[in-house]
Amino acid sequence: MLYVENLNKVYKTGTVSVTALEEVSFEIKKGEFVAIMGPSGSGKSTLMNILGCLDRPSGGRYILDGVDVSVLNDNELAEIRNKKIGFVFQAFNLLSRTTALKNVEMPMMYAGLPMRERRERAIDALRRVGLEDRLEHKPNELSGGQKQRVAIARALVNNPAIILADEPTGNLDTASGEEIMKIFEQLNREGVTIILVTHESDIARHAKRTLVFRDGRLISDVS
Amino acid sequence: MNIFETVIVSFSSIWANKMRSFLTMLGIIIGISSVMIITTLGLGVQGDIKSEFSRYGLNRADISMKWDPKNPPVYRDYITYDDVETIAGMQGQVEAISPRISRYVTVKGNNKNYSILLNGVTPDFLKIEKVELLKGRFVSDQDEKAKRNVLVLDEKTAREIFGTVDCLGETMTVSSGFRSLELMIIGITKVFDSTMAKMFDETNDKKGYTPVSIMRTITYNPNLERISVAIDQSFHVKTIGDMLIGFLERKHKAPDKYRLFDYNSNMDEVTNVFGIVTKIVSGIAAISLVVGGIGIMNIMLVSVTERTREIGIRKALGAKRKSILYQFLCESVILSLIGGILGLLLGSTVGFTVVRLLKLPFVISIGATAVSVVVTIGIGVVFGVYPASQASKLDPVEALRYE
Q: Which domains does chain A have, with CATH numbers?
A: 2-222 (3.40.50.300)
Identify whether B183 is part of a domain: yes
A90 touches chain B (CB under 8 A): no
With beta carbons less than 8 A apart as the criterion, state whether B67 and B73 touch: yes
Do residue B364 and residue B387 come from a single domain? yes
Identify whether B62 is part of a domain: no
Do residue B321 and residue B229 come from a single domain? no
A156 touches chain B (CB under 8 A): no
pLDDT value of residue B353: 92
Chain A residue nearest residue B393, CA to CA: A74
Look at B320 and A74 and tell me if their CB atoms are within 8 Å.
Answer: yes
Do residue B12 and residue B120 come from a single domain? no
Among residues B364, B323, B337, which one has the least CA distance to residue B3?
B323
Do residue B226 and residue B163 come from a single domain? yes
E strand or H helix at B189 = strand B180-189
- Over chain B (403 residues), what is each successive 10-residue block's mean pLDDT? 82 89 93 90 84 78 86 84 86 87 85 88 87 88 90 88 86 87 90 57 73 88 84 85 89 86 80 86 85 93 93 92 93 94 94 88 85 92 95 91 83
Do residue B8 and residue B46 come from a single domain? yes
Q: What is the mean pLDDT of residues A185-204?
A: 89
A54 touches chain B (CB under 8 A): yes
Look at A78 and B13 and tell me if their CB atoms are within 8 Å.
Answer: no
3-class DSSP assignment, residue A187:
helix
CA distance A136 to B173: 93
With beta carbons less than 8 A apart as the criterion, state whether A85 and A154 touch: no
Length, in residues, of chain A: 223
Identify whether B60 is part of a domain: no
Residues of B within 8 A of A152 (CB-CB) are none
Range of the domain at B230: 67-256
CA distance A117 to chain B (A): 14
3-class DSSP assignment, residue B78:
coil
With beta carbons less than 8 A apart as the criterion, state whether B171 and B182 touch: yes
Our measurement of the distance from residue B244's CA atom to the centroid of its chain's CA atoms, rounded to an integer in Å, reads: 29
When CB atoms are compared, the residue of A78, A95, A158 closest to B315 is A78
pLDDT value of residue B392: 94
With beta carbons less than 8 A apart as the criterion, state whether B238 and B260 touch: yes
Look at A78 and B320 and tell me if their CB atoms are within 8 Å.
Answer: yes
CA distance B99 to B328: 72
CA distance B242 to B258: 10
Q: Measured on CA atoms in the order B117, B123, B128, B130, is the torsion positive or negative?
A: positive
A58 touches chain B (CB under 8 A): no
Look at B318 and A97 and tell me if their CB atoms are within 8 Å.
Answer: no
With beta carbons less than 8 A apart as the criterion, state whether A53 and A42 touch: no
Do residue B49 and residue B76 come from a single domain? no
Chain A residue nearest residue B401, CA to CA: A91
pLDDT value of residue B296: 94
Burial grade of B4 (CB within 10 A; 0-12, 13-18, 19 or more)? exposed
Let me know the angle formed at the C-alpha of B225 by B221 and B227, rounded to the nearest 5 degrees.
135
Identify whether B37 is part of a domain: yes
Do residue B366 and residue B316 come from a single domain? yes
Do residue B32 and residue B114 come from a single domain? no
A111 touches chain B (CB under 8 A): yes
Q: How far apart are the first and last CA of chain A?
A: 17
Do residue B155 and residue B275 come from a single domain? no
Q: Are strands A193-198 and A162-166 parallel, antiparallel or unpaired?
A: parallel
Look at B314 and A106 and tell me if their CB atoms are within 8 Å.
Answer: yes
Report how far apart, in Å, the C-alpha atoms of B191 and of each of A82, B103, B154, B253 are.
78, 19, 6, 41
In order, the DSSP letters of B141-163 are: HHHHHTT--EEEEEHHHHHHHHS
pLDDT value of residue B108: 85
A133 touches chain B (CB under 8 A): no
Interface test with A, best of B1, B309, B317 (most A CBs within 10 A): B317
Looking at residue B181, the DSSP 8-state letter turns out to be: E
Domain edge (last residue) among B256, B287, B312: B256
Identify whether B58 is part of a domain: no
CA distance A204 to A37: 7
If interface means Cβ-Cβ distance under 8 Å, which residues of chain B face chain A?
1-2, 5, 12-13, 16, 309-310, 312-323, 396-397, 400
Our measurement of the distance from residue B316's CA atom to the centroid of its chain's CA atoms, rounded to an integer in Å, reads: 60
Q: Give, to the nearest 10 degrees, the angle between helix A74-84 and helix A100-111.
A: 130
Describe chain B by its helix, strand, coil percentages, rounded to 5.
60, 20, 25
With beta carbons less than 8 A apart as the criterion, state whether B28 and B339 touch: yes
Domain edge (last residue) among B223, B256, B289: B256
Identify whether B89 is part of a domain: yes
With beta carbons less than 8 A apart as the criterion, state whether B125 and B208 touch: no
CA distance B243 to B101: 22
Among residues B397, B402, B403, B393, which one has the least CA distance to residue B316?
B397
Looking at residue B393, the DSSP 8-state letter turns out to be: T
Give me the half-sphere count of Cα atoms (radius 13 Å) on the Cβ side of residue B142.
2
Chain A residue nearest residue B6, CA to CA: A109
When CB atoms are compared, the residue of B16, B313, B321 closest to A74 is B321
Let me know the angle formed at the C-alpha of B315 by B310 and B321, rounded to the nearest 5 degrees.
110
Identify whether B159 is part of a domain: yes
CA distance B337 to B331: 10
Look at A55 and B12 and tell me if their CB atoms are within 8 Å.
Answer: no
Length, in residues, of chain B: 403
Q: Which amino acid is at B95?
A: E
Do residue B372 and residue B278 come from a single domain? yes
**Total tally of structural domains belonging to chain B:** 2
Q: What is the mean pLDDT of residues A69-92?
A: 90
Of the pLDDT bands very low, low, confident and very high (cuts 50, 70, 90), residue A120 is very high
Q: Measured on CA atoms in the order B175, B180, B182, B184, is the torsion positive or negative?
A: negative
Among residues A159, A143, A148, A147, which one has the least CA distance to residue A107?
A159
- Longest Cα–Cα distance of chain B, Å, equals 104
Our measurement of the distance from residue B78's CA atom to the centroid of its chain's CA atoms, rounded to an integer in Å, reads: 35
Contacts 24+ apart (CB under 8 A), A141-147: A142/A100, A143/A176, A144/A92, A144/A171, A144/A172, A144/A173, A144/A176, A145/A172, A145/A175, A145/A176, A145/A179, A145/A180, A147/A92, A147/A94
Kindly provide the ipTM of the predicted complex, given to two decimals. Answer: 0.93
With beta carbons less than 8 A apart as the criterion, state whether B362 and B44 touch: yes
Look at A109 and B1 and tell me if their CB atoms are within 8 Å.
Answer: yes
Residues of B within 8 A of A158 (CB-CB) are 318
Domain edge (last residue) among B195, B225, B256: B256
Residues of B within 8 A of A83 (CB-CB) are 318
Do residue B223 and residue B317 come from a single domain? no
Among residues B79, B284, B286, B107, which one has the least CA distance to residue B184?
B107
Q: What is the mean pLDDT of residues A82-93?
A: 91
Q: What are the backbone dihedrals phi and psi of residue B12, each rounded to the nearest 5 degrees, phi first?
A: -70, -35
Identify whether B39 is part of a domain: yes
Do residue B22 and residue B81 come from a single domain? no
